[in-house]
Amino acid sequence: MENYVEGSMAKDEVMQVRAKFHWLVWLKFYVSLLFWGIVVLLCGYTGIKMYFEDNGFLSSVFLLIALLALIYILWVFLKLKFTEMACTNKRIIYKTGVISLKTAEIKVDKIESIQIEQTFWGRIFGCGNIIFSGTGTAKVKFYDVSNPWQIKTRIEESLDEGVSKQKRKR
């Protein structure tokens, strides 16, 4: 399956930086998976047991809870898996969505500032948010990325390269 960023790139567009979620985001997901997995197993087991004991209504309630917990786990996983954060030589791109699609993009020549948001724990573990502000009210935010300072530096370097190439063309 082709991802959104590569699929939407122009022929002269080149990938510069691809941001990834920090491992703490995935750890939070796996802890949630453990909790909701136990809920699915317990409610599923209880629901099936009650079904065979001819307690139809309570059985349905427990099986419904198990199903909803399973759907929730799958939904969170897919949201993490299908979120893309990237910078090409022409655009900053944030894409998310499982069923529907939401994108935010800013052309690199319209970027006015790049900001970092880090909590106390984010500074300790090396994760944070990167906010790109463009002309007008345009903003793109990369959430919970690994090494936001390193990514910011790499993006700024690629932006500087683009500016020097434009000056040489003139």
- pLDDT tens across 34-66, in order? 999 999 999 999 999 988 888 888 889 999 999
* Closest among 116, 117, 119, 125 to 146, alpha carbons compared: 125
Cα(69)–Cα(36) distance, rounded to whole angstroms?
6
Instruction: Say if residues 24 and 32 touch (Cβ distance below 8 Å).
Output: no
Name the burial class of residue 128, with classes exposed (0-12), middle (13-18) and buried (19+) by CB atoms within 10 angstroms of its CB.
Answer: buried
pTM of the model as a whole: 0.81
In which band, very low, low, confident or very high, does the pLDDT at 168 lie, cut at 50, 70 and 90? low
